[in-house]
Amino acid sequence: MFEQEILQQLKTRYKNLGLSETILKAKAKQLSKAVEKQEDIENAVAGVEDDLAIFQSFADQNRTLAKKIEDLEKGKGADPKPEPTPKPETGTPNPNPAPTGDVPEWAKALIESNKTLTESLTKIQEKEAKQTTAQTLQARFTELKIPQSFQKLIPMDKVFATPEEMEAFVTEQKANYDAVAQEFGNAALAGAPKPLFGEAKKEGEVSLDVQAYLDAKKPAKTNE
């Protein structure tokens, strides 16, 4: 009901926090659900100071992180080394020690998290690429009439830099299969029984030359 009035008071009261319009609008919408009378707006706005201070802290961290990431991407690395401060007198602690240039722990944790996510993404992409390659290889081998029994012996998880490299691999495997098939074919022919005088024309019959040989072996008939 009083969302716009609450928003204006939030902007006025907390303008020094540098919060975005989006955050202030969200907070005004939230407060408008609890404020029932106009005279309660001021107290409601004052009561969210701690919440908005936390939002400011997050906003500052995000800006710092964005700057760090930008510097890392540009190859700048850590911030330039500050000018050395005068050495304090002996026995007197330096109230403002020079920064060491070390990366904050929260930044280290975030960088490590990003590294882990990147590695996981890379592994997923590699797995998907290998699956796609395997499917392509299987399709090509099937097209070339290489049986599944032989395909199981071929490594399907290879990675190829170019399509030409993949095609060369396919050609090589086809040649390997043809050589194996020829070898097994020759062995099968060598082990097959061969007829003595030729092949029969029909099943159960003998060829003419075999029949002539059998007739010649019959004893000659004598006239009594």
Residues 6+ apart with CB under 8 A from 157: 130, 133, 134
Whether residue 111 lies inside any domain: the answer is no
pLDDT above 90 (res 34): no
Counted domains in the chain: 2
pTM for the full model?
0.32
Tell me which of 32, 58, 73 is where a domain ends. Answer: 73
Whether residue 145 lies inside any domain: the answer is yes
Q: What is the mean pLDDT of the chain?
A: 73
168 band by pLDDT with thresholds 50, 70 and 90: very high
Whether residue 53 lies inside any domain: the answer is yes
Residue 100's pLDDT is 47
Instruction: Give the CA distances from residue 60 to residues 57, 94, 146, in Å, rounded to whole numbers and listed in that order.
Output: 5, 28, 63
Instruction: Single out the residue of 40, 14, 45 nearest to residue 28, CA to CA.
Output: 45
Whether residue 152 lies inside any domain: the answer is yes
What is the residue range of 176's domain?
Answer: 124-190
For residues 60 and 31, which has the higher predicted lDDT (pLDDT)? 31
pLDDT digits (tens, 9 = 90+) for 171-218: 999 999 898 888 877 776 666 565 554 454 555 554 555 555 556 656
Whether residue 106 lies inside any domain: the answer is no
Number of H helices, E strands in the chain: 8, 0
Whether residue 37 lies inside any domain: the answer is yes
What burial class does residue 17 get, using C-beta atoms within 10 Å of its C-beta: 0-12 exposed, 13-18 middle, 19+ buried? middle
* Overall average pLDDT of the 14-32 stretch: 84
Tokens describing residue 110:
């975030």
Whether residue 63 lies inside any domain: the answer is yes
Yes or no: say if 151 and 139 are a contact pair by the CB < 8 Å rule. Answer: no
Rounded CA gap, 112 and 15, in Å? 35
Whether residue 135 lies inside any domain: the answer is yes
